[in-house]
Amino acid sequence: MSGIRLNKYIASSGICSRRKADELIEQGVVSVNGKIVKELGFLVQEKDKIFVNKKLIRPVKHEYYKFYKPAGYITTCDDEKGRKTIYDLLPETLYGLKPVGRLDRESTGLLILTNDGELINQLTHPSIKVPKIYIVSVDAKVSRNELEKLANGVEIEPGKIAYADISVLEIDNKHTLMQITLYQGMNRQIRKMFETIGYEVKTLKRIQHATISIEGLKRGEFKPIKPKQIKELKNFLNRIAK
């Protein structure tokens, strides 16, 4: 009889990725119809009752949105300090969706919002070099040698080497506008990279994450991502993960 793999069923509930689901199964905290299951390839049926840590789970309908984050908002559900969050700009119907990665408070641009735990894991796992593209400005003329240094990698924290692909879009004696592509996911990575060579980033906007772009969005606006685009995104991630 055909069925769905247990780890995929757990991931479809939105609580974690398939990889994490495998860990939960091995830990013996997953049961099917009242019996603990530790077999990673175990198949379940639609009528089966699956519990994780004694809590019944159900598959949820996956939702995918893209959002143009303005400056002045932090990327979290709530904040103990009372700062404005992106959820202040979103309807309650989207509160159950999580941002894929973060943008710091003064940065702007694309955020993918979803309840698809498997997709979040693929887009953020350090072993998968997912490209993220930004438009960045510095109020100074940045030399070619300095940009090459950033491309080759600089230490932004003890033991943490950060690098980026950089293309100059505009440059004069007082201004440099660049397109920067990251394949890592370090906290405030671009800002820290420029700090190492003595510059302060003035503006930073993410315009693309993997195959999803900010095109068609105004600042503060959100839109559902089309099923065709999600299919293209997942195919892209599967290719680069090999």
Q: Write down the domain spans for the chain.
A: 4-57, 64-127+211-241, 132-209
The CA radius of gyration of the chain, in Å to the nearest whole number, is 21
- Of 176, 111, 175, whose CA–CA distance to 150 is shortest? 176
Task: Please identify every stretch of the chain with a pLDDT value under 50, giving residue numbers as ranges.
Answer: 1
What is the third-level CATH fold of 132-209? Answer: Alpha-Beta Plaits (3.30.70)
- Of 89, 132, 93, whose CA–CA distance to 222 is shortest? 89
User: What is the pLDDT, as a whole number, of residue 134?
Assistant: 98
3-state secondary structure at position 206: strand
Query: Please, which residues bridge with residue 30 across strands?
Result: 52
User: What is the pLDDT, as a whole number, of residue 37?
Assistant: 95
Cα 213 from chain centroid?
13
**Fold matches, 4-57 and 132-209:** no
**How far is Cα 238 from Cα 242, in angstroms, rounded to an integer?**
7
Token output for 22 = 């495998």
Which pairing describes strands 212-213 and 222-224: parallel, antiparallel, or unpaired?
A: unpaired
What is the third-level CATH fold of 64-127+211-241? Answer: Alpha-Beta Plaits (3.30.70)
Give the tens place of pLDDT for each residue, 127-179.
Answer: 899 999 999 999 999 999 999 999 999 999 999 999 999 999 999 999 999 99
Token output for 41 = 């390839």
User: What is the pLDDT, as a whole number, of residue 237?
Assistant: 95
**How far is Cα 102 from Cα 186, in angstroms, rounded to an integer?**
10
- Amino acid in position 170: E
Query: Please, which residues bridge with residue 176 across strands?
Result: 138, 171
User: What is the pLDDT, as a whole number, of residue 228?
Assistant: 97
- Look up the pTM and report it: 0.84
User: What is the pLDDT, as a whole number, of residue 5?
Assistant: 92
Query: Please, which residues bridge with residue 28 across strands?
Result: none
Q: Between helices 227-241 and 117-124, what is the axis angle to 10°?
A: 50
User: What is the pLDDT, as a whole number, of residue 77?
Assistant: 78
User: What is the pLDDT, as a whole number, of residue 193?
Assistant: 97
Which pairing describes strands 108-114 and 201-209: parallel, antiparallel, or unpaired?
A: parallel
User: What is the pLDDT, as a whole number, of residue 211?
Assistant: 98
Active-site residue, from 22, 48, 79, 104: 104
Biggest distance spanned by C-alpha atoms of the chain:
70
Judge contact between 116 and 132, C-beta under 8 A.
Answer: no
User: What is the pLDDT, as a whole number, of residue 22?
Assistant: 93
Q: Classify burial at 137, counting beta carbons within 10 Å of its beta carbon; exposed 0-12, middle 13-18, buried 19 or more.
A: middle
- Whether the CA torsion 124, 130, 134, 138 is positive or negative: it is positive
Residue 139 falls in the annotated catalytic set: no
User: What is the pLDDT, as a whole number, of residue 242?
Assistant: 74
Helical residues (DSSP H) of the chain, grouped into ranges = 6-12, 18-26, 117-124, 144-152, 189-196, 227-241
Which listed CATH number (3.40.50.300, 3.40.50.280, 2.40.70.10, 3.10.290.10) goes with 4-57? 3.10.290.10
User: What is the pLDDT, as a whole number, of residue 235?
Assistant: 96
